[in-house]
Structures are given as structure tokens and as C-alpha cells.
Amino acid sequence: MTNETGLSESIRTERLTLRRPRATDAEAVFRYASDPDVTDHMDWARHTDISQSRAFLEYCDDEWVAGREATWAITLGESDQMVGVISVRPAGHKAAFGYALSREFWGRGIATEAARAVIAEAFRLHGIIRVWATCAVDNVRSRRVLEKAGLEREGIIRAWCARPQRGGAIEDSCFYSVIRR
């Protein structure tokens, strides 16, 4: 099954299943979204109450149905254990993506594997020739994920993103992309 844009509801990789998030995923979302280490570099506020995680899941569903954004729960193989999320937002000839992963799963190649799958899914869409992402300049882990997923660093965008966990500081971001050749 696909959404308005034609993106698949489920994507399988060697170790992962990316699937549409469910209301029952709220605790898993809260686990990573309330973690200061996970949220430090994000452009959204750390969750302090599970109701925020529930609202996020409702947002994901609304955006999926409208065809504006597709968010997948990153799950480990057959276990269906949600360990993070990854989203893509197609717009014209390009698509932006972003992800968040529970800290206990960092360093295992999970984010890279999910990113590669979502990039391939985005390139399946008619007219998409550029997939891009940004990350905080000092977020070395995310920079490595993007590079390992095949994106090239194009530069630094000055004063690009407000970081709520850093007092709302407007910070520079690294800009990465991959072009369908």
C-alpha cells in the first residue's frame, strides 16, 4: 500500500523493517524523544510527557494521509521493536529526509541502513532527482551516517536551524545531498 505520493507503507532491508508508525508506538517514541543525548541536535523540542509522543504519531498519520510527509518506524527485523523513525518530504524534484534513533542502537549501522532504504524509496518517485538532509555541524555521528548512506556534503548553511535544547540558538547546519544520475 502507498500514500498519495506513491511511497510504500513498509520497506524491508536486510536487518530492518520500516513501517508506518502506530498509536501503540507512543512509548517507544517517548523513549528516544525524551533522551537529552538523542534530542540535543534536533530542531524539535524534547518530549517531557508521553502526550507529546502521541501527538507526534497523530501528526505522522495526518501527513501520510495528506501525502506531504511519509514517516516510518524503524524496527528490528521480525521483532517489530521500534527503535526510531525516519521521514521523507517530497517537494517537486527533491525530497528532504531526517531520522531519530534511540541511543542504545547507535553505532550499529541501523540509521545508515534505514537512510539508504528511504533514499532508494524516494528515488522511486517520479521526478525526484535530489534527496537531501541537514544536520548540526557538531553532530559528527549524523554526518557519518549521511556520508555512509551515500550523500555528499555540499557545505554549511549559516544560521539555518533553531535548536530548542540549546536555548533556541540559531545554528549553522551541514547540508548533504545525493543526486540521481
Cα separations in angstroms, 84 against 76, 87, 92, 173: 10, 10, 27, 22
Domain assignment of residue 78, yes or no: yes
Give CA–CA dist 44/26, Å, rounded: 17
> Is 154 part of any domain?
no
Residue 142 resides in a domain: no
User: For 139, left (φ over 0), alpha (ψ -120 to 50), or beta?
Assistant: beta
Residue 59 belongs to some domain of the structure = yes
CATH code of the domain in which 89 resides: 3.40.630.30
Q: Is residue 27 part of a domain?
A: yes
Q: Rounded to whole angstroms, what are the CA distances from 43 to 39, 49, 90, 162, 172?
A: 8, 18, 19, 6, 12
Confidence of residue 181 (pLDDT cuts 50, 70, 90): confident
pTM across the whole model = 0.94
Q: Does a structural domain hold residue 105?
A: yes
pLDDT, tens only, 86-119: 999 999 999 999 999 999 999 999 999 999 999 9
Provide the number of structural domains found in the chain.
1
* Residue 104 domain-assigned (yes or no): yes
Q: Tell me the pLDDT tens digit for each residue of 123-165.
A: 999 999 999 999 999 999 999 999 999 999 999 999 999 998 8
The contacts of residue 71 (CB under 8 Å, 6+ apart) are 20, 21, 60, 63, 64, 85, 86, 87
**Residue 86 belongs to some domain of the structure:** yes
Q: Is 67 left (phi over 0), alpha (psi -120 to 50) or beta?
A: left
Percent of the chain with pLDDT over 90: 89
* Domain of residue 125, residue span: 10-131
